[in-house]
Structure 1
Amino acid sequence: MTPEHSLTDWGIVAIFVTVYIGMILGGLPRLKLDRSGVALLGAIGVIGLGAMSTTQAASAVDLPTMLLLFAFMVVSAQMRLGGFYTAVTRQVAALPLGRNALLGALIAVAGALSAVFSNDIICLAMTPVVAQLCLQRRLNPAPFLLGLACAANIGSAATLIGNPQNMLIGSLLQLPFGAYVRQALPPVVLSLGVLWAWLVWGPGHAESTAPAKPSAAMPVDLPSGYGPLQAPPFDAWQTAKGLAVAGALLLVFLFTDWPREVAALVGAGVLLLSRRLHSSDVMGF
């Protein structure tokens, strides 16, 4: 190994370590960088060192995966802006359930939604409602928020559209959608059950166990708007439109050989044709 190659290798190691520190901390000290900025800076550093050419960097990006991810981010944003996630979480909050059953319902809903929509947006949309629910019922919010985060990640593994990793795996290996779901669903359901059991009987389980609440007694109120900590007003038409597109895409994935990224882009295009939701608002999420 020549000294020049050795310096390049050590430079790559330094970039790798710096990027992961930035990911852990959420940014780099004294720099106005978030995680996306840190990752971009790391990619620029690798190219700048000559470890990878711009052509090699471009070829390393799987375009079908990026298109599929973009399209489902649009679908997920449509559901959030239509108030769907907030409405579903409020319905769960109003159930006449005790602490443990309520936790189980939350885990089940978060896992199911994350299998179809983006798990990141599920967490973003449901977290404020769950936190407010815990405050109103005087419950320790930590198990509920931890359950939401873990359930969203576990549930997203059930399909080839639940998270970017599965999208990439499905694209590169050309995995059939239905066959994957049949194989992945049992361990996902089992993992959600293990998560619930750990949160109920694991460390700190004896802190609080709330009695069952009457079904009409727990409205969860949040300020209205479209910010990350606000509850978008429920729009039945926009929600129905998003659900119709998502349902149609699932049928296409299950019963046709139409390329998933192409079908998803068509679905995203249908959602962007809106008189109420501006495209900048949809793609801003």
Structure 2
Amino acid sequence: MVLSGVLTLDEAYRAVDFNTILLLLGMMILIGYLKIANCFRYLSYLLITHARNSFLLLCFVSFSSGILSALFVNDTICLMFTPLLILALNQTKLNPVPYLIALATSSNIGSVVTLTGNPQNMLIGVFSKISYLDFTLHLIPIGIVSLMANVLIIYGVFRKDINFKKLEPIVLVKPELDGKLTTKSLVVLFCIFLGFVFTGNLPLSAITGGLALIIISGTKPQYVLEKVDWTLLLFFSGLFIVVGGINKAGFLTLAHNAVEPYLGKTESSQVVHFSIFSVIASNLVSNVPFVLLSAAWIEKFIDPKTMWYVLAMSSTFAGNLTVMGSVANMIVLELSKEYVHVGFWDFFKVGFTTTVVSTIIGIILLIH
């Protein structure tokens, strides 16, 4: 964008939304300390070893990954859960495919519930100025019902592999938990959420909590800074600049004018049509770039606030459509490929149905 003369270097700097970068960085620091404390591995160990039958294991994997993804970003949960889940499944005669699919799809679904559940929701939180609590109250029913539907869909597709027969006890090496660091991290997490709710300033709350934890953690900052995904922060900065150039060139206005006739004239029709458009477009250009591109259109709808919820819901659920739909899916499949092959069609059978059903659930609950 700079070399081709669309933006000057100063305009490129100004195009980067540092509120989003700070929010991401603050949450990454917090999550980094929870990783160092072995908190996620310990939680997954407790859940997996208490499953009495294969259906209960499916429920544990689905709901735990969904709930934790709402709090700690879905990619992180998949990164931490997958290795331990593979170890557990290797002890049983169970088909690992439905459980790995459940981990990926449920973490995507659960992440829709909060403004910090996934990167696209963070963007929406910064752009829309919707309060953290308000967003969660509107999206939590959609997340819960969709998680339940996802479990039933996976059970239906893999009925032969999932039953209510008692499982042999799963024996795993208990991960060592750093109790002090976990306690400090959870206290800071609670304070960050209080900041989200009472100040409404997501970036300031997140980065203040992250810096406070660096000071009180008792560990060298370099350990947690190694856990920060600097590549993702650079990727976001680059995206902001590209979208800034596209916007300056007038492409966003042209694109909106082209699709506007198909987005409906009533509030209900706009919710339905934009949800469908968002699911398709998020799979063509990926959900984060689509949210960045379409954010400029939201104020042109009849009810902009509802359409922010629609954008969060549909762009997140779009991640379940195919294996390539979200980073969480690829993390699960990449970490498990040495042990089991999850085929494209195995995933698509569940992913397509889950995407359609969860999007319909979202549309019904958002139309009022």
Query: Which category of TM-score, normalised to the shorter sequence, fits these structures?
Result: 0.7 to 0.9
Aligned partners of 1:273, 1:138: CA distance in 2, in Å?
Answer: 47
> Any conservation in 2 of the 1:95–1:213 contact (CA below 8 Å)?
no
Deviations 1:252-284 (A, max 9, x none): 222x12522112111101211256533222122
2:141 paired with 1:180: no
Structure 1 residue 221: Cα displacement: 3.1
Structure 1 residue 207: Cα displacement: 3.3
Letter in 1 for 2:77: I
2:60 paired with 1:117: no
Aligned to 2:167: 213
Aligned partners of 2:126, 2:217: CA distance in 1, in Å?
Answer: 33
Aligned partners of 2:78, 2:61: CA distance in 1, in Å?
Answer: 12
> Any conservation in 2 of the 1:71–1:265 contact (CA below 8 Å)?
yes
Structure 1 runs of 4+ aligned residues shifted over 4 Å read none
SS at match of 1:239: helix
Deviations 1:40-97 (A, max 9, x none): xxxxxx4333343333332222111110110001111111111111111111111142
Aligned length in residues:
227
> Any conservation in 1 of the 2:114–2:135 contact (CA below 8 Å)?
yes
Aligned partners of 1:221, 1:138: CA distance in 2, in Å?
Answer: 19
Compared CA separation, residues 275 and 239, structure 1 to 2 (3 A): closer
Letter in 1 for 2:190: G
SS at match of 1:166: helix
> Any conservation in 2 of the 1:77–1:121 contact (CA below 8 Å)?
no
Aligned partners of 1:143, 1:200: CA distance in 2, in Å?
Answer: 8
Letter in 2 for 1:143: P
SS at match of 1:263: helix
* TM-score (ref. length: structure 2): 0.58
Compared CA separation, residues 174 and 131, structure 1 to 2 (3 A): same
Aligned to 1:194: 149
Compared CA separation, residues 62 and 211, structure 1 to 2 (3 A): same
Compared CA separation, residues 65 and 275, structure 1 to 2 (3 A): closer
Q: How does 1:1-285 map to 2 (within 5 A)?
A: 46-202=1-157, 204-209=158-163, 211-213=165-167, 217-221=169-173, 233-254=176-197, 256-257=198-199, 259-274=201-216, 276-285=218-227
> Any conservation in 2 of the 1:93–1:220 contact (CA below 8 Å)?
no
> Any conservation in 2 of the 1:139–1:210 contact (CA below 8 Å)?
no
Deviations 1:84-122 (A, max 9, x none): 111111111111421111111111111111111122111
> Any conservation in 1 of the 2:58–2:99 contact (CA below 8 Å)?
yes
Amino-acid identity (%): 27
Deviations 1:139-185 (A, max 9, x none): 22211111111111111110111111111111111101111111000
Compared CA separation, residues 134 and 59, structure 1 to 2 (3 A): same
Aligned partners of 2:133, 2:105: CA distance in 1, in Å?
Answer: 24
Structure 1 residue 186: Cα displacement: 0.7
Letter in 2 for 1:211: K
Aligned partners of 1:212, 1:102: CA distance in 2, in Å?
Answer: 11
Aligned partners of 1:205, 1:240: CA distance in 2, in Å?
Answer: 41
Aligned partners of 2:120, 2:162: CA distance in 1, in Å?
Answer: 37
Aligned partners of 1:92, 1:186: CA distance in 2, in Å?
Answer: 23
Compared CA separation, residues 275 and 178, structure 1 to 2 (3 A): closer
Aligned partners of 2:200, 2:144: CA distance in 1, in Å?
Answer: 28
Deviations 1:186-244 (A, max 9, x none): 11111111211111112x43135473236xx323238xxxxxxxx6x311111111111
Q: What value does the CA root-mean-square deviation take over the aligned residues?
A: 1.9
